Structure 1
Amino acid sequence: MKCAVILFLFSAIGIHAAENKQPEILRFSVQKKLQGEQGVEQIVVRGVAKDAEDGPRLDYAYRIVSGGGRLELVKRYAIYHPESPGNVVFELAVTDSSGSITTATTEFFVGGGDSKKLYTDKAIWMAALAPASRKQSAFQFVVRDPMLPNILLIGDSISIGYTPYVREALKGKCNVYRIPENGGDSKKALAQFEFWMGDNNWDVIHFNTGLHDMKRVINNQLDVNGEHVNSPDAYRTNLENYFQRLETTGAKLIWANTTIVPDGSGGRVKGEEVQYNRVAEEVRRKHPSIVLNDLYALTEANPADQKPANVHFEEIGKQRQAELVATKIMEMPK
């Protein structure tokens, strides 16, 4: 009787193994997306697969088959960090518990279109935007008036918030543009520098980075127990490089320091913005032609402008910042 049971179990296992099917990849795509409450644009590489035997218990592995850049693995998807324009081929390998593997490839073109026409060709501008950005007034296409000076705003979601109000304040006085994405941290500013400059026809560049350098993350999620995206020392090094490169543009430069960080804002520690601003000011003083716009002092003096436990601002705060930004721009020598 024992032998019969053993044979039966062996037979059942053999049948199950024979019927095991490879996982099926349902979708595999690469898309620009605005991630998280900060609205940082990221290139997300994501696959979706199914398997009759394992259900959701599948292993996802991503790699770059051809093209430059690197992948940051996050759970079942990856963030792609490009290094230069061009075509990139990605591969997804999905493995089930029996070791069966299914693979798929997909392509993505980095920096589509001529960056020299980024701010003057609407089709190229729209192609550079993440889908969600196309609905935001800050990212509207600006028709250039050749009789007016050209202003470029560079920064994170704080600058996205005040961009429309700066445009309104300087209407008829300046062509006000902004970069086609959230500026993120100082590493991103350096990596995207040539693309953001477009045709480099700028009279004034108003720029900032900092909130994303000081944020703390674990596994691509905000977490005050994590490490800084860029340490103060790394921030210093990046800013020195960034300031030097901006000086080569010939534009008049305005550096906006980082706005206040309140308690409980998630992923950031109140007071660390002071440390990062101190680092930035030490670097700026080595470049006396770069003017300071003290947005930190402005936001510290108007706490009611800020959303509760959030680095972002109410409309009144965005308007107040825009007034100062516009004033600083108009004060620059012609």
Structure 2
Amino acid sequence: MAELPNLFVIGDSISLHYGPYLERFLRGHFRYSRKVDSVVLEHSAAAARNPAWLDYPRGPFGENAGDSGMVLEYLRSGPAEVAAADVLLLNCGLHDVKIDKRTRANQVSLDEYRDNLRAVVGLLVELPARAVWCTSTPVHDATHAEHDAELTFGRVQADVLRYNEVATGAMREAGVSVIDLHGFTEALADKGVDENLGLASLYLDHVHFSLWVRAAQAAYLAGWLIAGLGPDAR
């Protein structure tokens, strides 16, 4: 019996949250691991309380992949897990778009984000793995603003859209497949606990999602990966 392909995930806290579900849905199709995969988040309301490292990554080598500069530094280090992967599922963007409350500047400018992703792609094409990019999930401006006092930064959806457009362009230009997790997540808005709340009904805090949303995101990603890149894909 042929060995299952290795999937390795590099992403921010959104991927940490859907990761346990994705691992479950991919059983029998992929061997799942992720950047510092010793971190396992409990599927409970208590675990949804947003540990600090979900919003403030511990640098390029922590479990939260952080912004595009951190991802680039991590890949440049030549991790063995990346070299051993058959498929890389990759995302960064929500940390790049963070807005400094004092300067009003994004953590990573749009031009720097573009340059970082082009450098990332330059490294990916040298690897045997098939790379797959995920678009960054939506920010609901009013919901994020409700938590402003808790955070040292802001975010706005307009920036998410701009950065997603740049990322999608850079990836497609290089022949990297793109999964539109942003669009899928937006489409869940009419399935939330209160249809009158729309997108706001999906969130547990400023940017992280309810458990059912995480499971739905994982199911969507798993379906795409199994159909397109799994051992039985045609």
What TM-score bracket applies, with the shorter chain setting the length? 0.7 to 0.9
Distance in 2, matches of 1:320 and 1:284, equals: 24
- Decide whether aligned partners of structure 1 residues 224 and 286 sit closer, same or farther in structure 2, where only a CA change above 3 A counts: farther
For 2:24 and 2:90, locate their aligned partners in 1 and report how far apart those are by CA, in whole Å.
19
After TM superposition, which residue ranges in structure 1, 4 or more long, deviate above 2 angstroms?
194-197, 223-226, 303-306, 331-334
State the shift of 1:227 in Å: 1.5
* Higher helix content, 1 or 2: 2
Task: State which of 157, 171, 196 in structure 2 corresponds to 1:284.
Answer: 171
Q: For residues 151-181 of structure 1, give each alpha carbon's deviation from its aligned partner in whole angstroms, at most 9, with x where no partner exists.
A: 0011000000011001100112211001011
Distance in 1 (CA, whole Å) between partners of 2:129 and 2:66 is 22
> In 2, are the aligned partners of 1:204 and 1:253 still within 8 Å (CA)?
yes
Matched, 1:184 2:66: yes
1:272 equivalent to 2:155? Answer no
Aligned to 2:18: 162
For structure 2, the residue ranges without an aligned partner over 5 or more in a row are 37-62, 149-153, 193-200
Alignment map for 1:157-236 (pairs within 5 Å) = 157-180=13-36, 181-195=63-77, 197-199=79-81, 200-217=83-100, 223=101, 226-236=104-114
Instruction: Answer whether contact 1:179 1:196 (CA < 8 A) is retained.
Output: no
Say whether 1:299 aligns with 2:185: yes
Q: Flag the structure with larger Rg.
A: 1
The amino acid across from 1:166 in the alignment is L
Residue aligned with 1:205, SS: strand
Aligned 8 A contact 1:224 1:269 in 2: no
Alignment TM-score, normalising by the size of structure 1: 0.52
Question: 3-state SS of the aligned residue for 1:210?
Answer: coil
Counting strand residues as a fraction of each chain, which structure ranks higher?
A: 1
Measured after TM superposition, the shift of residue 285 of structure 1 is 2.1
Aligned to 1:244: 122
CA distance in 2, matches of 1:308, 1:160: 15
Q: Distance in 1 between matches of 2:162 and 2:203?
A: 22
Q: Find the residue that maps to 1:148 and give its secondary structure.
A: coil
AA aligned to 1:208 is N
Aligned residues: 184
Which residues in structure 2 correspond to 1:42-53 (within 5 Å)?
none
Alignment of 1:99-138 (within 5 A): none
CA-CA distance at 1:148 after TM superposition:
1.8
- The percent identity for this pair of structures is 33
1:184, CA displacement in angstroms?
A: 0.3
1:213, 1:298 → 2: CA distance?
Answer: 21
Q: Give the Cα separation in 2 of the matches to 1:328 and 1:187.
A: 27
Q: Give the 3-state SS of the residue equivalent to 1:238 in structure 2.
A: helix
Kept in 2: contact 1:207–1:256 (CA 8 A): yes
C-alpha deviation, 1:270, in angstroms: 2.4
Change (3 A) 1:318 1:237: same
**Contact 1:204/1:329 (<8 A) preserved:** no
Contact 2:96 2:109 in 1 (8 A): yes
The aligned counterpart of 1:314 is: 210
Deviations 1:294-334 (A, max 9, x none): 00101111233621662110001100110111112212345
Would you say the 8 A contact 2:172–2:178 is kept in 1? Answer: no
* 2:9 aligned residue: 153
> 1-side partners of 2:187 and 2:78: how far apart?
32
- Deviation, 1:277, is 0.6
Q: What does residue 59 of structure 2 align with?
A: none
Residues 233 and 173 of structure 1, relative CA distance in 2, 3 Å threshold: same
Distance 1:197 1:261 in 2: 31
Deviations 1:60-95 (A, max 9, x none): xxxxxxxxxxxxxxxxxxxxxxxxxxxxxxxxxxxx
Q: Could you tell me whether the CA contact under 8 Å between 2:204 and 2:210 is conserved in 1?
A: no
Task: Evaluate the alpha carbon distance shift between residue 224 and residue 276 of structure 1 in structure 2; reply closer, same or farther with a 3 A threshold.
Answer: farther
Distance in 1, matches of 2:29 and 2:186, equals: 29
Q: Name the residue aligned to 1:141.
A: none
1:91 paired residue number: none
